[in-house]
Chain A
C-alpha cells in the first residue's frame, strides 16, 4: 500500500487546487494537466479519490499499460471510445501516462499520444461531460505545449508535483516500479552509453553484442523498459543478420542469447506472449547447438538455461524444468568441482520453479 500523501505547503496547494476543480466543475468537460513524478502522482490520485468518493464522485482511473509504448494511438482511441460511458457516471477521469519518465521510447509514445489527442480535441469537448485529468511526467510540460498547443490552450488548470526532497527514493528498483520516478541520465549507464556509441559508429555492424545485453539489463534496472526493449530488439536484428551471413552456425549462440535478452525484457514488462515466442526460438537454436557441438558443457548449460526460461512461462512447464535439472545433474557429475553447476542445482531445488530471467553470459 502506498504511503499517505505528504502535504507540505506546495504539495497542499497543488492537492487542494486539484480537489477544488472536480468539486466545483463536476459537470461538463474541463481539462487539467498534472506533470508529476510517478510516486507522488499515485499518492495524489488516492488522496483525491478518497475525498471525491465521499461526495459520490470517485475518480475513474486509467493507468497506461505496457502496450502504450508500442501503440500510443490506440490509447487515444481507447479514451475516445469510452467518452460516452465515462460521461454517464459521476466523477472525473484520471488518465495517467506518466510511467517511465526517463525512457526515450515512452516519451516518444507520449508525444505521439498528445499529437493525436490534440487533433481530436473536439471529440473530448463534445462528448466528455466530466473533468479530465491528464497525468504526464514532471518534465513534460514544454513538450506538451509544443505538441498539443490547442488542448494546452484549452486547459483549465495545470499543476506540477515532484518528490519532496526528503522523501525521494535514493535508489530505483524494478520491483518498486510504480514508485520509480527519477529520470536516470544516460551517463550513469555505462553499457548503454557504450552501446549507443557503437550503434551510431560507421562500423555499427561490428558492434559488440554483449554490450547490448548488458545495456538492456542496465535500463531495466533503472525503470526504462521501453529503452531496454529498443536496445534488445536492435541487438537481435544485428544477431539475426550475422547468423544469416555466416552459414557455419558460428553466430547462433549470440542469436540465442539475444533472443533470451529480448525475452527477459518482455518478461519484465509482463508480455508473456513475446517472451514465449523468443524463448522457444532460443530453445530450438540451443538444441541444434548441442547436436552440432556434441554436448559440450557450455552448450548443455545454455540449453538448461533456455529450458528454465520456457519453464517459467505461465502456467509453467514441468517437463522443461525436469529436463534442465537432469542436465545440471549430469554436468555436476561430470564436473564436480565446477561451482556453478552445484549452485544451479541447489537453486533449482529451493526455487520450486521460479523464473530464471533473461539469457546469460557464457558460464564460468
Chain B
C-alpha cells in the first residue's frame, strides 16, 4: 500500500525497526504516526479500499467465480473501552468512527461484519442506516422471561434444558428439573453464565445421597455468583432500579455512557428480545436493587 511521504519517512528513518512492535509498545512513536496520518484519513481509507478490492479480485480468481461474495469479519471493536478520565473521549471516538466516518467503513465489493459495542445503538439508534442501511444484529440471551416481565418463559427454560441434555443426557441424576430451571433463570439466559452456575454447584457434592441437587442446594452457587458482582455503589443501584422499572437503558446524559457501558459489559444489565429489545437488571441482583430502593426510598 502506498503511503504519504511523512509516514514513509518514519519507516525510512527507522530501518530494521519492527513498525508493528513499535506501534504497540512505543507510545511516542504511535502518537507521531497518528499525527502524521491525521489529515490524510481520506487518502488512507481510499488506499485501504483499493487494497481490499484487490484482495476480493484475488479471491474470486482463485475460486474461479467472478461473482463470488466475499465477507470480511472485523472483530473485537466492541472491546474498545476507555478508562478513568479518558473514558468519555474513547467512547466519543468510537461513536465518531461509526457515525462520522460511516462512509469510509463501507467498502466496495465486500460484505463486512463489524462487531460493535452494545452501547453504540443506545448512543445512536441510526447506526445501521448510516452504514449502507444495515441493521445492527444482537446476540441476545435465550428467552427465559416473558416480554418486559419477570415471569419465566417456560419454552425458553425447556430450550436450556435441551442444551444441557445434548451435552449430558443424564443431567436429571445431578439436578432436579426445578433446580436446573432455577439456575437458568438466575443466569438470565446467558449460556456461559448458565454453564458456570452448573459447574459451581458440583464441587460441593460430597455424597451421592445429595443428588439430584434441589433448588435449595444450588443457592450456594447463586450466592457465590451474586457476590462476584458486588459491591455496587448506591448511585448505580438507583439507576439500576430505573432500568428494572422501565426496562429501558435510561441514559439521561452523554457523560453517563461509561457507566452504562460498565453495566452492559459486566452483565449487571441484560438485553432481552421478545419481539422488541428490552432491558432488565441481572436476575441475581434484583433483590439487592429492590432492597436498596426500599431502604432509601429512592
Residue in B76, B81, B192 whose CB lies within 8 Å of A154: B192
Total count of chain B residues near the partner, CB < 8 A:
19
Given A73-B25, A115-B83, A150-B79, do A157 and B262 touch, yes or no (CB 8 Å)?
no
A81 close to B (CB within 8 Å): no
Chain A 1-43 interface 0/1 with B at a Cβ cutoff of 8 Å (1 = within): 0000000000001001100110000000000000000000000
Residue in B199, B204, B266 whose CB lies within 8 Å of A149: B266
Residue in B203, B228, B267 whose CB lies within 8 Å of A16: B203
CB <8 Å contact, A152 and B266: yes
CB <8 Å contact, B262 and A153: no
Residue in A20, A118, A145, A146 whose CB lies within 8 Å of B79: A118
Given A119-B79, A157-B199, A158-B228, do A145 and B266 touch, yes or no (CB 8 Å)?
yes
Within 8 A of A (CB), among B73-111: 76, 79, 81, 83
Interface majority SS (helix, strand, loop, mixed), chain B: helix
Q: Which chain A positions have C-beta within 8 A of B196?
A: 155-157
B200 close to A (CB within 8 Å): yes
Within 8 A of A (CB), among B123-180: none
Q: Which chain B positions have C-beta within 8 A of A20?
A: 202-203
Name the residue of chain B whose CB is nearest to the CB of A18.
B203
Name the residue of chain A whose CB is nearest to the CB of B232.
A142
Within 8 A of A (CB), among B166-213: 192, 196, 199-200, 202-204
Within 8 A of A (CB), among B195-250: 196, 199-200, 202-204, 228-229, 231
CB <8 Å contact, B231 and A142: yes
Name the residue of chain A whose CB is nearest to the CB of B267.
A153
Question: For the complex, what is the distance from the CA of A155 to the CA of B228, rounded to whole Å?
Answer: 11
A74 to chain B, nearest CB (A): 9
Residue in A13, A21, A141, A156 whose CB lies within 8 Å of B228: A141
CB <8 Å contact, A153 and B192: yes
CB <8 Å contact, B265 and A149: yes
Q: Which chain B positions have C-beta within 8 A of A150?
A: 79, 265
Q: Which chain B positions have C-beta within 8 A of A16?
A: 203
Question: For the complex, what is the distance from the CA of A198 to the CA of B159, rounded to whole Å?
Answer: 63
Question: For the complex, what is the distance from the CA of A73 to the CA of B24, rounded to whole Å?
Answer: 10
Interface majority SS (helix, strand, loop, mixed), chain A: helix
CB <8 Å contact, A17 and B266: no
Q: Which chain A positions have C-beta within 8 A of B200?
A: 157
B4 to chain A, nearest CB (A): 28
CB <8 Å contact, A17 and B265: no
Question: For the complex, what is the distance from the CA of A146 to the CA of B266, rounded to whole Å?
Answer: 8
Q: Which chain A positions have C-beta within 8 A of B265?
A: 149-150
Q: Which chain A positions have C-beta within 8 A of B202?
A: 20
Q: Which chain B positions have C-beta within 8 A of A156?
A: 196, 199
B217 to chain A, nearest CB (A): 15
Name the residue of chain A whose CB is nearest to the CB of B78.
A150
Q: Which chain B positions have C-beta within 8 A of A155?
A: 196
Within 8 A of A (CB), among B240-298: 262, 265-267
A184 close to B (CB within 8 Å): no
Q: Which chain B positions have C-beta within 8 A of A111?
A: 83
A147 close to B (CB within 8 Å): yes
Name the residue of chain A whose CB is nearest to the CB of B265.
A149
Question: For the complex, what is the distance from the CA of A206 to the CA of B155, rounded to whole Å?
Answer: 72
Question: For the complex, what is the distance from the CA of A118 to the CA of B266, rounded to whole Å?
Answer: 13
Question: For the complex, what is the distance from the CA of A158 to the CA of B79, rounded to whole Å?
Answer: 22
Q: Which chain A positions have C-beta within 8 A of B262?
A: 146
Q: Which chain A positions have C-beta within 8 A of B203?
A: 16-17, 20-21
B202 to chain A, nearest CB (A): 8
A165 to chain B, nearest CB (A): 19
Name the residue of chain B whose CB is nearest to the CB of A71.
B25
Q: Which chain B positions have C-beta within 8 A of A142?
A: 231
Q: Which chain B positions have C-beta within 8 A of A152?
A: 266
A206 to chain B, nearest CB (A): 28
Residue among B203, B204, B262, B266 with the most chain A CB within 10 A?
A: B203
Name the residue of chain B whose CB is nearest to the CB of A154.
B192
Listed from nearest, the 10 A-B pairs whose CB atoms lie closest are A149-B265, A20-B203, A17-B203, A145-B266, A149-B266, A158-B228, A16-B203, A150-B79, A119-B79, A156-B196
Would you mind naming 19 contact pairs between A and B with Cβ atoms under 8 Å apart? A13-B204, A16-B203, A17-B203, A20-B203, A73-B25, A111-B83, A118-B79, A119-B76, A141-B228, A142-B231, A145-B228, A145-B229, A149-B81, A152-B266, A153-B266, A155-B196, A156-B196, A156-B199, A157-B199
- Give 10 A-B pairs besides A13-B204, A16-B203, A115-B83 with Cβ atoms closer than 8 angstroms: A17-B203, A21-B203, A119-B79, A145-B266, A146-B262, A146-B266, A147-B83, A153-B266, A153-B267, A157-B199
